[in-house]
């Protein structure tokens, strides 16, 4: 029996893979990177946030980075208990797609590198908007569409050459161009999106595979091929990766795109766009141009 069309990720398997990563020692270099950036981005907002929710972020790095500025009440919610530090801020095991909080419970919701794995991202954003108090802020980041583009290409070409067909092996990550619209559809005011890329270098494709496993980021697509990856495909993918994405010193590039998004729960004090036709000056006058009627 096939899964519904909107079910992209095997969420129970994703939780199991993440729990395994924590048992074996999770790789947190991407989380450490974005956790360092959150305080700087929030620093531009000159107001307190007494009630803060850290939603889905695996590991304590983000909570620890925010603790100095937002010490009052910071609650962490993650899909597995292993992702919640025993000696860190209060934690609750819950699914990012089913938030157990009353409307208006938080003044700030943050989330780092978690929402790319939900099946209903628009619905998750709607829930985040619901639990924010009026004039509350959501700020998050997730993996974007350029993430692992090199690995995606190498695996697809290798499978096509060896097996005569391609199976899905790298997740379809979010596109920056879509995120502003999703925030608006979810009811956020003043949405802002941007992206940056992190390039990580490896001695071989197998080093990248080890890090992905240690992040709990291996293939959990519902439509994945359940059979083990054939050795011939793997070795051919390694050759393609080496030939196309190696630097002059022989090390391989792996791209991780971080998409940042933020939006406010609507409030009457916020700036509103002017109504069409309400301008008091003409653009042609401001540009010093001659206006011609067609």
CB proximity list for 208: less than 8 A, separation 6 or greater: 151, 200, 202, 252, 254
How much is the pLDDT for 2? 46
Q: For the chain, how far is it from start to end, CA to CA, in angstroms?
A: 61
- Going by pLDDT thresholds of 50, 70 and 90, the confidence category of residue 1 is very low
CB atoms within 10 A of CB 7: 13
Q: Which of 72, 115, 69, 74 is nearest to 262 (CA)?
A: 115
Annotation: CATH topology of 11-266: Rossmann fold (3.40.50)
Question: Residues 153-174: what's their mean pLDDT?
Answer: 87
In this predicted structure, the answer to whether residue 267 has a pLDDT above a threshold of 90 is: no
Q: What does the DSSP 8-state code read for residue 204?
A: S
Torsion of CA 67, 184, 193, 51, to 10 degrees: 0
How much is the pLDDT for 92? 86
Contact of 34 with 112, CB cutoff 8 Å = yes
Question: Residues 199-208: what's their mean pLDDT?
Answer: 95
Question: Residues 8-31: what's their mean pLDDT?
Answer: 85
Lowest mean pLDDT among 44-48, 107-111, 251-255: 44-48
How much is the pLDDT for 85? 62
Q: Cα–Cα distances in Å, from 209 out to 53, 148, 172, 213, 214?
A: 32, 11, 18, 6, 9
- Going by pLDDT thresholds of 50, 70 and 90, the confidence category of residue 164 is confident
The pTM assigned to this predicted structure is 0.84
Percent of the chain with pLDDT over 70: 86
Question: Residues 12-25: what's their mean pLDDT?
Answer: 85
Task: Round the average pLDDT of the chain to a whole number and report it.
Answer: 86
d(CA 51, CA 132): 10
């Amino acid at each position: 029996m096939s899964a519904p069309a909107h079910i992209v990720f095997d969420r129970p398997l994703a939780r199991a893979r993440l729990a395994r990563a924590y048992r074996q020692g999770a790789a947190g270099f991407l989380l450490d990177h974005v956790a360092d950036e959150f305080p700087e981005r929030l620093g531009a907002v000159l107001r307190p946030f007494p009630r803060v929710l850290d939603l889905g972020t695996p590991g304590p790095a983000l909570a620890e980075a925010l603790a100095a500025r937002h010490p009052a009440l910071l609650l962490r919610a993650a899909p597995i208990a292993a992702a919640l530090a025993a000696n860190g801020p209060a934690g609750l095991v819950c699914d990012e797609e089913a938030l157990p909080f009353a409307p208006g419970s938080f003044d700030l919701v943050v989330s780092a590198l978690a929402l790319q794995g939900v099946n209903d991202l628009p619905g998750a954003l709607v829930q985040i908007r619901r639990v924010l108090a009026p004039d509350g802020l959501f700020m998050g980041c997730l993996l974007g569409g350029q993430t692992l583009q090199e690995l995606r290409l190498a695996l697809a070409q290798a499978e096509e050459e060896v097996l005569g067909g391609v199976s899905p092996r790298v997740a379809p990550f979010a596109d920056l161009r879509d995120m502003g619209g999703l925030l608006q559809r979810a009811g956020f005011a003043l949405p802002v999106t941007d992206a940056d890329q992190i390039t990580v270098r490896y001695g071989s494709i197998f080093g990248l595979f080890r890090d992905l496993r240690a992040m709990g980021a291996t293939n959990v697509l519902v439509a994945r091929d359940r059979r083990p990856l054939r050795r011939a495909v793997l070795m051919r993918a390694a050759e393609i990766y080496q030939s196309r994405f190696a630097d002059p010193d022989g090390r391989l590039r792996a791209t991780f795109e971080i998409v940042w998004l933020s939006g406010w729960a609507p409030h009457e004090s916020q700036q509103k766009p002017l109504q069409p036709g309400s301008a008091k000056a003409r653009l042609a006058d401001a540009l010093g141009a001659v206006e011609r009627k067609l």
